[in-house]
Chains A and B, each alone.
Chain A
Amino acid sequence: MKRHPIEILMNKGAKKKWPVNIHFDLTYKCNERCIHCYVVKQKRKELSLHEVKQALFQLADAHGLLLTLSGGEIFTREDVLDILMTTKKLNFRTVILSNGSLITAYAAKWIKKTNVAEVQISIYNADAHIHDTITRSKNSFKQTMKGIGFLKKEGVRVVLKTPLMRHTFKDYKKIKLFADKLGIEYLFGPVILPKMNFDKSLTHLSPNVNQLKKLFLDSSTLKKDLEAIKIRAESYNLKSNLNKPICDGGFNRCYISPYGDVFPCGTLRIKVGNLRDNTFREIWDHSTALRDIRGISVKMMEECLQCGLLAFCIPCPGMGHQGTGNLLKPYKLHCKIALAKKKAIEKNTI
């Protein structure tokens, strides 16, 4: 028996085109109305319980293993506990993304019973009033904390997830303290993405470069990031890497929408098939759109290759597509993260 870090499985998956890492949005319905929400609902029927189960069977059969269930808010689905039973039966390592406000004592018990690895809960501020202002839902903080309490009581691993925003950035340390007090981990999201219909009207909510720099300087992973950057900088310069795929989207990861649409990943919003028309395997193995996306190599990202921030960045065709409509162009919102990282590292190493 050999023991490896999970990255070995991801690399193997990328080489063999196993969709190891799946992000499945079960619904776009939500009980909150967050100011930064990127979801755009369509007038189409969402997958039924039977269709979701069928999709999960197909994904397991295609070697999917790491499953993230998200939305919308998955607990608005009455059948969500049935779905969790199926993910357990099919041996997925399941992570749930939720606002936590609909998680009851019964649901928490079920989450524990179905071996969910982790529940990531969105918290926007340690101050209840500010949180509720962002969710535009009265008492949402209180309800979310109740949900967290039920999960903790059952011994479910909980992680706080906070998309940082310009106007609330100053409070991020309070969120850290808040999470520490609760004895749970936290994650910060550095940008507010465009909506699913590419509307960029919300992206101004993203933190600015100086705020992100501060965040990175404060990060315990900065040293590790520096090592990764050195390796990355060298790898982009290698001629032998120029023909390699730019990322793992469509190789070892995929995204499924509540309508059954299949995408190469959660960021690249180019539909490559639909599970109501074809099986997952048919789409994954034969979609011409997916074949084209897999063909995007390092050398095709010409502008990124010449950029001074390249070593601090992971060029992303999905971000390019969302921001500019062109998969091969950099999106300035994404470049901002690289610039902040560069500034943080320079400041840290002077």
Chain B
Amino acid sequence: MSNFSPNKVFSKCDKIVWRIIDGETIILGLEDRNVYTLNNVSTLIWNSINGKAEIKVIIDKIVKEFRISHKEAKQDVNDFICDLEKNKLIASK
């Protein structure tokens, strides 16, 4: 399980474009031919990544929106952000 500092802030990478279609986020790399699709929970996290919001704020949002435990939300957010970072879709500030 990945564990980022709660104060860490991420930005979306420059080399991607994305659309939210029917509640699903579609992300497309500018330099490859891969498409990434996100479900509604991931979409909420994705929308919160704006170069300003700290991870702890995003976790709180998920807890509030989906009524899950803080522990569960923390794990989901950390894992998802780790995945995004690994695929170079976001970068830490």
Residues of A within 8 A of B (CB): 1-6, 8-9, 18, 60, 63, 65-66, 91-93, 115, 117, 157
Contacts and interface: CB of A to CB of B under 8 A. Distances in A.
Interface of B: 14-15, 17-19, 21, 26, 28, 30-31, 33-38, 42, 80, 83-84, 87
Nearest to A117: B30
Contact of A91 (B17, B31, B36): B17
B26 to A, nearest CB: 6
A3 B31 contact: no
B84 A1 contact: yes
Given A63-B19, A93-B17, A4 B34 contact: yes
A6 B19 contact: no
A63 B21 contact: yes
Contacts, number: 52
Contacts of A1: 36-38, 42, 80, 83-84, 87
Contacts of B33: 5-6
Contacts of B30: 93, 115, 117
Given A4-B34, A6-B28, 6 more contacts: A1-B80, A6-B35, A63-B21, A92-B17, A115-B15, A117-B30
Contacts of A63: 19, 21
Contact of B28 (A18, A65, A157): A65
Contact of B31 (A8, A60, A65, A117): A117
A11 B80 CA distance: 26
B23 to A, nearest CB: 13
B35 A3 contact: yes
A230 to B, nearest CB: 22
A3 B36 contact: yes
A93 to B, nearest CB: 5
Contacts of B18: 91
Contacts of B14: 115
Given A1-B42, A91-B18, A92-B17, A9 B35 contact: yes
B17 A3 contact: no
A3 B87 CA distance: 10
A93 B28 CA distance: 8
B35 A4 contact: yes
Contacts of A4: 34-37
Contacts of A91: 17-19
Contacts of B21: 18, 63
B28 A2 contact: no
A8 B35 contact: yes
A60 B17 CA distance: 12
Contact of A6 (B15, B34, B42): B34
